[in-house]
């Protein structure tokens, strides 16, 4: 949700002022008697739980005296370390009224531990005999959980009812009320169980022969730290290996190990065998990896980051040069680019995604798809920086392939003819060397190395 200062609300305030002025003219018989009445504002529900990674909504419900609420300002103060505002929607008022409202976040209201949602509104009933009857929902605010499980934030709400045409003037009937929103595992708060992958080890022969299969054993220890016991878990084991190797019955998901029943403080060992054949000489790095996850419905893991692990071994095939393993994948949690955290517990930070498989993470690779054109250049040309070849005829991916045919040929060269010598601005798709003022010989020469070449 966009952050904005209170100045963003001036147009809404102006309209609300106008409505209030007309309201006062039509409701003069109530102005003297209702100004001293008390507004009742509540948060519904007063205590709210929000699931990790989910959203939860609360409503601001007002019970004002009949016809007394012409314009209003409501401020909802919360702790941004616990929740953030996902959306704020002013509720529609009953038929027979003219209504204006605004609902936005304002992080300039409080200090570093406070943020505020401001709800503004004004109303005019076209039938002067009508007014607010009973409860009136003024806004619905949806929060997202950003804090740790068990963290709570007070929802401090202030409302001011303005009966005069000046909402910057003295407040009438100010009301302050409090609610609370807490982060839990899921709505209803299921029982916790800290299930972890205690260790991963892999044993491969110290040496092997090219083109002759050999076996590697991956041993995994899973553990339940509790407090819930017992708890059912499942998972998978897999290996990563150099490009010259193949693995019998290999899948990216690895070998599953069914459902285990883990009692608290008791470890269980899982062993899986992999048959590998490598064609090249070298010291082959083989990596074992595994993941464990809770299977019991309603049970949550308060520490989900210790469920994945890796181990490594080396097998020498007639040469001391190291051949590094490729990615070991099970249901490996993805590495989040640029957050500086080892999200998948493989001892590497920000190592993926690596779209072109060149060993350089997209976080650091200036040419993610490895097609010879930088990501910045492809952004300028409007081609896909994450694809080196068109998937379909409407998919611009390879910059010199103007007709997306997967081949750079005379058709592509002729496509440059109508724009050759013209300005690069407006012809960015043909500007293969962005930065120049015109489409020129430099752009043509970018096609020469790949002329009559195809992509896959």
Domains (range + CATH), the chain: 6-184 (2.60.40.680), 193-323 (2.60.40.10), 375-450 (no CATH)
- pLDDT: which is higher, 114 or 269: 269
Cα→Cα distances 365→99, 315, 342, 352, 370, Å: 53, 31, 18, 10, 9
Token pair of 139 as six digits: 């806004």
Q: Of 79, 97, 228, 80, whose CA–CA distance to 156 is shortest? A: 79
Mean pLDDT of 196-206: 92
| d(C-alpha 224, C-alpha 233), whole Å | 9
Return the bridge partners of 434, or none.
Answer: 436
Residue 256: band (very low, low, confident or very high) from pLDDT cuts 50, 70, 90: confident
Most confident of 26-40, 340-354, 399-413: 399-413
Residue 101: band (very low, low, confident or very high) from pLDDT cuts 50, 70, 90: low
Residue 268: band (very low, low, confident or very high) from pLDDT cuts 50, 70, 90: very high
- pLDDT of 218: 94
Q: Where are the beta strands (DSSP E) in 146-266?
A: 152-162, 172-184, 193-203, 214-227, 231-240, 245-247, 255-256, 260-262
| d(C-alpha 335, C-alpha 349), whole Å | 8
- List Cβ neighbours of 445 (8 Å cut-off, separation of 6 or more): none
Residue 170 has pLDDT above 80, yes or no: no
Question: Which pairing describes strands 172-184 and 47-51: parallel, antiparallel, or unpaired?
Answer: parallel
Residue 269 has pLDDT above 80, yes or no: yes
Residue 33 has pLDDT above 90, yes or no: no
| pLDDT tens by residue, 392-414 | 777 888 999 999 999 998 888 88
Residue 301: band (very low, low, confident or very high) from pLDDT cuts 50, 70, 90: confident
- pLDDT: which is higher, 100 or 420: 420
- pLDDT: which is higher, 407 or 16: 407
| pLDDT tens by residue, 113-169 | 678 887 777 666 555 555 555 667 777 888 888 777 778 888 887 765 544 344 444
Q: Of 285, 356, 366, whose CA–CA distance to 324 is shortest? A: 285
Backbone angles phi, psi at 378, to 5 degrees: -70, -35
Backbone angles phi, psi at 423, to 5 degrees: -70, 145
Cβ distance 303 to 185 under 8 Å? no
- pLDDT of 201: 93
Residue linked to tokens 């491969």 = 204
Q: Of 170, 168, 139, whose CA–CA distance to 7 is shortest? A: 168
Mean predicted lDDT score pLDDT of the chain: 75
Most confident of 190-194, 304-308, 344-348: 190-194
Cα→Cα distances 98→166, 233, 389, Å: 19, 57, 56
| pLDDT tens by residue, 40-75 | 667 777 778 777 666 777 887 776 544 444 566 778
- pLDDT of 329: 66
Measured at the alpha carbon of residue 142, what is the angle toward residues 11 and 15, in degrees to the nearest 5? 15
Residue 210: band (very low, low, confident or very high) from pLDDT cuts 50, 70, 90: very high
- List Cβ neighbours of 224 (8 Å cut-off, separation of 6 or more): 193, 194, 195, 230, 231, 233, 262, 263, 264, 265, 266
- List Cβ neighbours of 426 (8 Å cut-off, separation of 6 or more): none
- What is the DSSP track for 364-433? T-SSTT-SSS-HHHHHHHT--TT-SS-SSTT---STT-TT-SSB-SHHHHHHHGGGTTSBSTT-GGG-SS
Mean pLDDT of 72-86: 82
Residue 187 has pLDDT above 80, yes or no: no
Cβ distance 90 to 121 under 8 Å? yes
- pLDDT of 35: 33
Output b/e per residue, 312-349; b: 16+ Cβ within 10 A: bbbbbbeeeeebebbbbbbbbeebeeeeeeebbbbeeb
Return the bridge partners of 78, or none.
Answer: 115
What's this model's pTM, rounded to 2 decimal places? 0.38
Mean pLDDT of 217-226: 92
- pLDDT: which is higher, 355 or 187: 355
Return the bridge partners of 116, or none.
Answer: 77, 106
């Amino acid at each position: 949700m966009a952050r904005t200062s209170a100045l963003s609300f001036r147009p809404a305030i102006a309209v609300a002022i106008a409505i209030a002025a007309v309201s006062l003219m039509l409701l003069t018989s109530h102005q003297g008697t209702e100004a001293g009445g008390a507004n009742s504002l509540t948060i519904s529900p007063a205590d709210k739980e929000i699931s990790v990674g989910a959203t939860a909504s609360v409503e601001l419900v007002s019970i004002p005296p009949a016809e007394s609420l012409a314009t209003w300002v409501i401020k909802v103060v919360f702790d941004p370390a616990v929740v953030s505002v996902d959306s704020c929607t002013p509720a529609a008022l009953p038929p027979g009224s003219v209504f204006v409202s605004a609902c936005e976040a304002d992080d300039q209201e409080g200090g570093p531990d406070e943020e505020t949602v401001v709800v503004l509104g004004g109303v005019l009933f076209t039938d002067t005999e009508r007014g607010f009857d009973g409860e009136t929902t003024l806004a619905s605010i949806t929060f997202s959980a950003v804090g740790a499980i068990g963290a709570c934030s007070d929802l401090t709400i202030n409302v001011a009812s303005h009966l005069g045409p000046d909402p910057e003037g003295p407040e009438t009937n100010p009301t302050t009320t409090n609610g609370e929103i807490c982060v839990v595992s899921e709505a209803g708060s299921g029982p916790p169980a800290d299930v972890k992958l205690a260790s991963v080890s892999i044993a491969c022969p110290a040496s092997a022969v090219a083109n002759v299969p050999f076996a590697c054993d991956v041993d995994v220890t899973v553990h339940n730290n509790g407090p819930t016991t017992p708890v059912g878990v499942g998972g998978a084991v897999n290996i990563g290996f150099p490009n010259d190797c193949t693995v019998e019955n290999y899948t990216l998901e690895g070998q599953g190990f069914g459902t285990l029943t883990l009692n608290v403080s008791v470890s269980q060992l899982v062993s899986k065998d992999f048959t590998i054949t490598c064609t090249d000489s070298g010291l082959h790095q083989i990596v074992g990896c595994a993941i464990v996850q809770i299977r019991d419905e309603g049970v949550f893991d308060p520490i989900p980051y210790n469920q994945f692990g890796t181990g490594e071994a080396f097998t020498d095939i007639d040469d001391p040069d190291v051949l590094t393993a490729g990615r070991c994948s099970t249901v490996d949690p993805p590495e989040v680019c640029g957050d500086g955290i080892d999200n998948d517990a493989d001892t590497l930070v920000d190592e993926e995604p690596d779209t072109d498989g060149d060993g350089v993470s997209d976080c650091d690779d200036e040419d993610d798809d490895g097609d010879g054109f930088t990501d910045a250049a492809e952004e300028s040309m409007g081609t896909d920086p994450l694809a080196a070849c068109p998937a379909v005829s409407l998919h611009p991916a390879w910059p010199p392939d103007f007709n997306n045919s997967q081949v750079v040929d005379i058709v592509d060269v002729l496509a440059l003819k109508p724009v050759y010598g013209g300005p690069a601005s407006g012809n960015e798709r043909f500007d293969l060397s962005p930065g120049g003022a015109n489409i020129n010989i430099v752009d043509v020469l970018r096609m020469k190395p790949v002329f009559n070449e195809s992509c896959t």
